[in-house]
Structures are given as structure tokens and as C-alpha cells.
Chain A
Amino acid sequence: MAQRSSVKTSKMRPVYVVDGSRTPFLKARGKPGPFIASDLAVGAGRQLLARQPFEATEFDEVILGCVMPGPDEANIARVVALRLGCGQRVTAWTVQRNCASGMQALDCAATNIATGRADLILAGGTEAMSHAPILLGPDMVNWLGDWSKAKSLGQRLKALGQLRPAHLKPIIGLMRGLSDPIVGLSMGQTAENLAWRFKIDRERMDAFAMQSHQRLAAAQDAGHLSEIEALYDSRGHVHDQDDGLRRDTSMAGLAKPRPVFDRHFGMVTAGNSAQITDGAALLILASEDAIEKHNLPVLGCIADSEWSGVDPAQMGLGPANAIAPLLKRNRMALEKIDYWEINEAFATQVLAVIAALNDVEYCRTELDRRTAVGEIDEACLNVDGGGVSLGHPVGASGARIVLHLLHVLKRTNSQRGIASLCIGGGQGGAMLLTRNKD
């Protein structure tokens, strides 16, 4: 296993986060939502750029994470950069690390600033999951190929005669995207694996889900989501809040839905899983030089980041395996971290991460440690809700949790936080954020 150095190199330049904003996360409601992925990113970015003292053309580059850009959004970062008025000279590229694409974009941006390749970068992620494509099966594609070659009436009739109803069965792109092609499990089934391994019951999951809704409701009421920029659709509607929130969530209500993935005896339901949503989040990252040149405010610093690989069948444990080495390299005890954001792909998955980090056996076998890493205090974790209540637009979530964690640190005047998420395919990512450069 290739691993990053356990010692931080001192030559790296500090990386600052100046500002950021995101769209409200809009729940997919069975039909394509009002915005495509680039609309979302433009909606997140235009007021963000408008309030900066520098011009959009002064960015060195734009980096976006996106898992499923639309058919007109090849290299969506470039599409967004041009639509935001960054001009033809600002380069842009798109990254894909599945559920962590937004965090990957930040990591790429941070690296380029740290190494001195860039000073000012717009980075983040966007995803319009409601616009995931409906695909044709290979049989249908083959048939269409024959059809286009059939010229005479006889050939066409023959081709028509070969068309079967089964050919017309569509492939739902989103369902395929949320399944692991190597181990043949849906993401929900990998979560069932974690519940089984760490003995997490349905009630525990539902309680966590309810808390997510309650915390989001409280955050909305307290105005703690100031990073949200309203979206306007072409039909005259305003979208200014995460609309997946259910204020009436109760344990009785959460107990009702049947399991979605292991249909008969499973525990993971739509109620205790992340919602399918559309959304985008963008951050402005800057070097010390850029901060001084444009006299920019500092929201916080990206101090370090770590990626891990785990069993695809237990992909939800990725955060545990990324957090442990991140803490170790930075010579930090778990207790030193003031606030946490661990993306809620599934309630049980977050609970499993907490359990794993506090489990001596797991830490010994999986993390090569002699002792457990420690126990994350739930009071400091996802304090304003998470994927279960506000959704998980896969390309955007990584950027959202980093942005929101920085706002939480600022609001509570605390120093350090870790944002982390699990990645379909069996990976985890974690990012250490600080208020000041240490």
C-alpha cells in the first residue's frame, strides 16, 4: 500500500480559503429539476464572485468536481468558468473521485497553491442528480445500428420485426452509478454490511437520521446557513433553502418506510439514507501573495488532506481510514479537533465510522495502530445537519462540508476541524481545516 509521508513537508506554502457559497440543495422529485449542473455552479458562483475585490478574470484556474455532467457539459469546469465570466484565458478542469469529487477539486487546488503553481483558484463541485441520464441497453443500441443501415423497405421491415419490447427497457443511469461494479453491491447494501459488522440497529440509525433533520431545522431557524445563495428558475420561483428538510420527522415516522436495498430484512431505508439532490458549492482558495495583493479576508486554511482505500463492500468506512493517518501526520490527538463534518451517505455509515475509530480491534487490524484512535463526540459532529436531511449531490458534498465546517469554526470561534466523506468504490477522504495557519 502506497502511503503519503507521515511527516508534513515544511516547504509547502499555506493555503487559504477566502470565501465560498453554495446553492440550496434541491431534492430530486422524480423528474429532472429546474437546473442542470452548470446552472447550479453558476448560481453558486456569480454573487460570490461579484462581492470579491478582484475580477473573475484574475483566477489562475477553475477546478470542479462532478460525477455526471450533462451531455452539453463536457469538462464542466470550463463551461462554468466561461459562464461566470472568467474569460477565455482562465483555464479550467474537471475532476472525478465519485462522492468526493468536490473535495478532490479542493485538494487539487490546495496542492497547486501549496506548490506555488497558482495563487488564486475557484474550486468546488456540482451535481444535478435529477438529470442523471436514462440509457439504452446494448441490445437496443445494436438494433439502432442495424436500423440506420437498413435502406430498402424490405430491410426496414425486417429490422422492425427484430425489435423486442425488452429492447426498450431503459437503464437508469443513477442506479448504476450508485452500484459498485466490482463487488456487485448497491451503496445501500454496503451500508447494510456496516450495520451488520458494527451491530448498529434500525432504531439507532433512525435516531441519527432524526437528529440530522432536527439540527438542520435549528440551523435554518438560527440563520446558520449564510453560505447559501438563492437560485432563480425560469418559471419565476426562488429556491433559497435546502428543501429536503422534514420538520415533522419523528421516530414513528422513520420506522415506517421499508428497507430499500435488502428488501425484506434490511434496515437501511430512504429515511435514514442521504437524499438524492441537486446542488453546487464553490470556494475561493488563495495563496498568501494573493491575500496580500487583493487584500482578501481569510475564512480559514486547508492544512492537510488524506485519502484512503478500503474494501469496496464496506466503502462507508473510508473516512475512518483517512482520518487516522491525517491526525497522526499532524501529530494531533482526536480530542484536538473542535468540530467534525462526516458526510452522511447513510446514518449507519457515519455511526460505523465513529465505532471503527473507537474500536481497538479495528484500529489494530485495519489502521496498524496499537490503540483506538478515540471517540468522536456526536455533539461536535454534523452540528447543522447533513446528507440525510439536506442531501448528497455527489460532486458537491465534499466542497459543501469543507465550506460549512469553516463557517462553524468561525461562528464558534474554534480552531480546528476535519471534514471527511466516504467514496463509492471503497475510498475515503479527509481534510484538516484550521482557522489560522499553524
Chain B
Amino acid sequence: MVDNKNDKHWHIHTDEDNITWLTLDKVGTSTNVLSVEVIAELDSHLIALAKEPVKGLVIQSGKEKGFIAGADIKEFLKVRGTNDAIEMMRGCHTVFDRLEALPFPTVALINGFCLGGGMELVLACRYRIADENPSVRLGLPEVMLGIHPGFGGSMRLPRLIGPVNAMPLMLSGRTVSARAAYKLGMVDYAVPTRQMIRAARAIILKPPQPKQPGRLQHFLSHRLIRPLLGMYMRRSVAQRVSKKHYPAPYALLDLWIKHSDDPRTMLAEEAASVARLVVGDTAQNLIRVFFLQEQLKSLGHDSDFHAHHVHVVGAGVMGGDIAAWCALSGLQVTLQDQSPERIAPAIKRAHDLFKKRLRLPRLVQAAMDRLRPDVSGEGVAQADVVIEAIFENAEAKEALYRELEPRMKADALLATNTSSIPLEELGKALSRPERLVGLHFFNPVAKMKLVEIVHSTQTDAKVAQQAASFTRQIDRLPLPVQSSPGFLVNRILMPYLLEAVVMESEGVQPELIDRAAVDFGMPMGPIELADTVGLDICLSVAEILSASLGTTVPDKLRTLVNAGNLGRKSGRGFYAYKKGKPEKAKIDKETEAPADVTDRMVYSILNEALACLREGVVDTADHLDAGIIFGTGFAPFRGGPMHYLRSQDVSVMKQRIESLAQTYGERFKPDEGWQELK
């Protein structure tokens, strides 16, 4: 048997039926990840097992909540060069090959997350059984980190389920439920928890024929067909991401087209391809973004605050959608407004959201039952969190707080979704202003992961921590920001949008402006974004910011709003909209935008970012980057504005902003923050 020093992360046990159970319970972490050490230990077990006369091997997780979440991403950051990376992956290939070659049946018992490296490990087993619990997710999401599967997944998944099923999964990084995985053929069975052990035993004692893709899939994997299918897939990838910004899916397609005839070559080329990607800027920046997200998530750990009931006042777009999101997240929610008619549209939107996300009628009904329209405000007294999301009027909000405060539980949070009124002012209405905190959600709530946790000088630090905890409870990312005009996201976004509007007024074609921004890596151009947000909302935010920051509001914005052209929602803004889609003029690739279009937009962001950091709107440059990436979609592969700034030649950039200031005046005046950059 194996000696004890190898029993650190893996526990081995052979039962009376001579079935060996290998359980991963990684020391010192709550989730299992495949570190180099974990893989090495697995290898020593496999070497020993190969000589044992056992009936079969079951690999399972010792963690209650999940199987294996993936490779240890921290180790990716330590990779020194391509050779280093290749060595690491080839080492893992050897181990998984050994697992695959075991002379007896091998079964993976999958609970919770089975992603990336974890998925690749189970693909090397002969059989896979997944728990049908909804918490189970399977997939190969490596492209999200700018790489593609590197532990044999790009070879084994297409071989198991065929290219038509496998490639889109890997190209998009999408994860699937146990049921879906069963339908795709990724797992042999999806069973209830109570049947997991019995299923594993039954398979080993009487092994069925392992799953194989159908004949059509064989045909589509043929050397002569692959380039054609590949071309088709490349086109659908190109609709989502460009090769320049996100090379990983393209590399994966090339790999499959060129090398998938021979598993040996495929594995060698897989390692080489991932190695090339992982040392690149995109992967390193996306990995950075992953850790930024982890950093924001950890902000929720400072308090053990746990809400059961949320009361939302104001059933408009924001309030209604916040309420729906909270109910979807399992909380009891009461939604208050002045009349049933104001609440009804929010109930419809909530129902649509629940239907889309939960699908099963039983779960939709339960979510609808959790969301209670509450005109009379009975929920105030029961709520652990009261969120005010009424219209932006300080007096109305203050009057409401005076009504709410005496009825609220003593330890309940009082949060405002205001985007423009200073908390200090609103706090005046409260006998305990220190309990007021901002929870600034973004529209659409169900898509935007970021929530700005706004604290004023009066806000109790504990309250801000509780708000961050609550934000995590509903699976959003908390970003602590100071109560200053526009907070972080709007303040940085607005100069960028306004600069685009100014350029449009100067006569630059809006299509060209948007194209330049998308080329830089923005998810959507600023002109289309302004239309989408609503020009009236842009105008009001711009006016609030102009009062405090001295920015000028372009006349064009006012003209459009006054004419009732509010953007997408009214069918016309900068663009005309048909069925919610902008009608953009076709511009051929040769037409070039004026040379400084991109710089004018990007430097607006960078300059404002430096100002925010200098003023302490956020605590750290990392927080700023995270906020801008998750709050605006700022090119994630660039790692955030501050990271982008630092990765460039600062002296060149300083010169550039000075020249922009000379040409366009005051609004590009370099912030003092530039001085401190080296």
C-alpha cells in the first residue's frame, strides 16, 4: 500500500468488494484545486494502484460543496516562461494518461463544481457519475482566463462527445448542469445524491460499454471535414471576440483542426499552445481580473451579517429589479411603492427573470412567493435590509427615512441606491446617520455584477462591512467607495461618454467612434452605450457631475433630450432603433477615424481614474481596476485602467495627455496624480 507522506491531500481506502476509493480533500482550502502537489500525490497513488489487484477505482471529493474547481490558478502567475509551462502540463498529461490506462474500471463521482483541470481529470476516467443537484456545474471555462484546456481536455472532450458538442463548450467557456452534461454525453449518469455510491459500485461490479459519440460525430471529426466545420465555428467565435484581444479560442480551433487525428501529438501541441497563451498579456491580465474578482469577493468576509428579509422601497426599474434579484437569490423580499399599479410591472419583470433563470415552474412559483408586493409597508419591521430606490429627490428620501427609521429593526441595514445625492445630506434625516450606507446597483441588475458600497464620513465601518457581506449573499461584487459625486463608476464613465458626444458634435461619424472603442476592447461603443443607458439619465448624471467637477455638458445631449430622443428606449437617440437594435451606417474597413479618437476616449478615463485614486474615492488601484472592469466592462484583457497605465511607457503617456490638453483644453488638464507615476 501507499505510505503515509503521500496521504496529505488524497485519502485512499479499499473496501470489502475490493473497490478502491480515492478521495481528494485538499489541505488548508475549502475548495479542491489541482495544484502541482496534488497532481504529484495522485500520481504516486496511481503508480501504486496499477500493481494492485483491485476491482475498480472511484475518485471522489472530500469537500461537501464541490468536486474540483480547476487547476490552481495562482501557479499560473508563477510560470516563468513557455518551457516552464510546457513542463508543468506535460507532467500532468503523464499522470492523466496513467489514470486512463489503468487496467480496471475507473469512476469519477462528481458533486458541485467540476471545472477546468477537474473536468479534465474526470475525462481521463472511464466513467463519470454526476449528482443531479442544481449546484453541480461541469465545463472547461479556461478561455475565460485567456487560455484553453491544457490537461488533455481539448483532446479528450471532443473524443468523448464529438466536436459539435465539445468545441462550442470549450470555445465559449460555458458550464453546464449535471442534466445537460448527461444529455451531451459528458457524464454516464446524473443521479440523486442518495444513489451516488450505489451507482459507482454498480458500474464497477458490472461495467457497461463506455459512452462514445455517434457516427455523425466521427464523420465531422474527419481530417477533411474539420477545416470546414472549423471555419463555421471560427465565424461564430468572431462574432463574440476578436482574435487580437482574445487569441485563446482561435488557438484552440487551430489545434483541433491540425492535430486531433493523433492523441499523442494533440497533447504535445495542446501544451505548447497553452504555454504560448499563458505567458501572453491577455491571459496574464485575465488571470489578474480573476484575482481582482476574488479580492472583491473577500470583502464580504469581514462580517457574518446574513439577511433573511429585504424590504425595497420604490418599484421602478432599479428598485423592482433589485427586489427580483434578491428573491432569485433566495431571500424573502417585500417591495413597496405608492400603489399596486406601480408595483405590477416589476412583478412581471421578476417573473420573466425567474422563468429564464429557474425554468422549473415549481422554482419559479417559490421565487414569486418570496417576492411580496407590499403597498402598506408591512415588511419594514421585519426586514434585515431596507433598500431605498425611489426617485432622486433629497427631500422625498429624507421624508421616507423619517418614516422608516422608527419602524425598522434596531440592527437592520438602511441602504440607498442613490447615484447622486451625498449620503451626508440624506443622513441628516436620521437619528442614527451612521447606519446609512449606499448600495449602488447598476442597470440591468441581473447582468451587472458590481455594487458600489458607498460610505460617507458618518457611515459606521461595521455597517459598510455588513453591506459588503449582504452584496456577496446575493452574488454581486462589493466595491467600497467614498460618497463623492458619481462615486467611482459613473464619475469615470461620464467624461468618456461626454468626450464621445463632443467628437460626434464635431462631426466624427458615431459609427467610427464606436468602432474605435470596440477595437480598444470596450464591450460596446460609447455612443451606443449612451443611447442604451438613456440620454436623459446621462444628462442628469452629467449635470450633477458638472456642478461638482466643472465638466461641461455638450449641447447635443440637451438638444436630443429636449426633443424627446432618449436613446434606445424611445427608439431614437444618436442612432435610430429598430426592434431595440441600432441602425448603424455601414463603414468599410478602409475608412479611418481621426487619429486621436481612441486617445481622447481612453485618456478621459485614465485622467479621471488618477483623480479618483488621488482623492481616495476607492482604497487601492486594484479596487479601481476591478470597479471599472465589472462596472463598465472596460477591456478586461487590458487588466483595468490603472494596470494599463502602468504597463505602458508613462513618460510617453504624460506627453500625450499634455498635448491633448493643449489641443482640447481644460478637460484634458493632467491630474496631479500623473506626477506620482513613475
Contact = CB atoms under 8 A, between A and B. Distances in A.
Interface of A: 42, 46-47, 50-51, 83-85, 230, 232-238, 240
Interface in B310-352: 332, 334, 340-341, 343-345, 347-349, 351
A51 B351 CA distance: 25
Contact of B344 (A46, A85, A236): A236
A232 B373 contact: yes
A232 B379 contact: no
A51 B376 contact: yes
A284 to B, nearest CB: 15
B378 A238 contact: no
A50 B347 contact: no
A237 B351 contact: no
A233 B382 CA distance: 25
Contacts of A51: 376, 378
B375 interface: yes
Contacts of A236: 344-345, 347-349
B372 interface: yes
Contacts of A85: 332, 369
9 contacts: A47-B374, A47-B376, A50-B334, A50-B382, A51-B376, A236-B345, A236-B348, A237-B344, A238-B341
Of all A-B residue pairs in the complex, the 7 with the closest CB atoms, nearest first, are A236-B348, A234-B351, A50-B378, A238-B340, A230-B340, A232-B347, A238-B344
A51 B374 CA distance: 10
Given A83-B369, A238-B340, A230 B347 contact: no
B69 to A, nearest CB: 33
Given A47-B374, A230-B340, A42 B369 contact: yes
B340 A46 contact: no
Given A232-B347, A235-B348, A238-B343, 6 more contacts: A42-B369, A46-B369, A230-B340, A233-B347, A237-B344, A238-B344
B307 to A, nearest CB: 16
A230 B369 CA distance: 14
B368 interface: yes
Given A83-B369, A240-B340, A230 B348 contact: no
A196 B347 CA distance: 51
Contacts of B344: 232, 236-238
A46 B349 CA distance: 20
A42 B366 CA distance: 11
Contacts of B366: 83
B443 to A, nearest CB: 19
* Chain A interface mostly: loop
Contacts of A46: 369, 372
Contacts of B347: 232-234, 236
Contacts of B382: 50
B343 A232 contact: yes
B378 A230 contact: no
Contacts of A84: 369
Interface of B: 332, 334, 340-341, 343-345, 347-349, 351, 365-366, 368-369, 372-376, 378-379, 382
B379 A50 contact: yes
Contacts of B368: 234
B374 A50 contact: yes
Contacts of A83: 365-366, 369
Contacts of A237: 344
A301 to B, nearest CB: 26
A392 B344 CA distance: 26
Given A46-B372, A47-B372, A50-B378, A232 B334 contact: no
A237 B365 CA distance: 17
Contact of A234 (B348, B373, B374): B348
Contact of B340 (A232, A234, A235): A232
Contacts of B345: 236
Contacts of A234: 347-348, 351, 368
A354 B383 CA distance: 51
A246 to B, nearest CB: 23
Contacts of B373: 230, 232
A47 B378 contact: yes
A230 B342 CA distance: 13
B348 A50 contact: no
Contacts of A240: 340
A20 to B, nearest CB: 15
A234 B343 CA distance: 12
Given A238-B340, A240-B340, A50 B372 contact: yes
Nearest to B354: A234
Contacts of B378: 47, 50-51
A88 B28 CA distance: 37
A230 B372 contact: no
A436 to B, nearest CB: 28
A213 B372 CA distance: 32
A332 to B, nearest CB: 38
A233 B350 CA distance: 11
A263 B368 CA distance: 45
Contacts of B379: 50
Contacts of A232: 340, 343-344, 347, 373
A51 B340 CA distance: 17
A101 B491 CA distance: 62
Nearest to A36: B365
A232 B373 CA distance: 8
A42 B373 CA distance: 12
Contacts of B351: 234-235
A42 B369 CA distance: 8
A21 to B, nearest CB: 11
A23 to B, nearest CB: 13
A126 to B, nearest CB: 15
A51 B375 CA distance: 12
A71 B368 CA distance: 20
A152 to B, nearest CB: 28
Contacts of B340: 230, 232, 238, 240
A36 to B, nearest CB: 9
Contacts of A47: 372, 374, 376, 378
B458 to A, nearest CB: 32
A138 B374 CA distance: 48
A230 B375 contact: yes
A62 to B, nearest CB: 15
B298 to A, nearest CB: 33
A7 to B, nearest CB: 44
Contacts of A233: 347
Nearest to B375: A230
A236 B349 CA distance: 8
Nearest to B382: A50
A50 B336 CA distance: 13
B327 to A, nearest CB: 13
A233 B376 CA distance: 19
A105 B71 CA distance: 60
A233 B365 CA distance: 12
Contacts of B365: 83
A235 B374 CA distance: 18
Nearest to A48: B378
A238 B342 CA distance: 9
Nearest to A237: B344
Nearest to A239: B340
Contacts of A230: 340, 373, 375
Contacts of A235: 348, 351
B363 to A, nearest CB: 13
A237 B341 CA distance: 8
A282 to B, nearest CB: 15
Nearest to B372: A46
Contacts of B369: 42, 46, 83-85
Nearest to B348: A236
A51 to B, nearest CB: 5
A85 to B, nearest CB: 8
A237 B373 CA distance: 12
B373 to A, nearest CB: 5
Nearest to A38: B365
Contacts of B349: 236
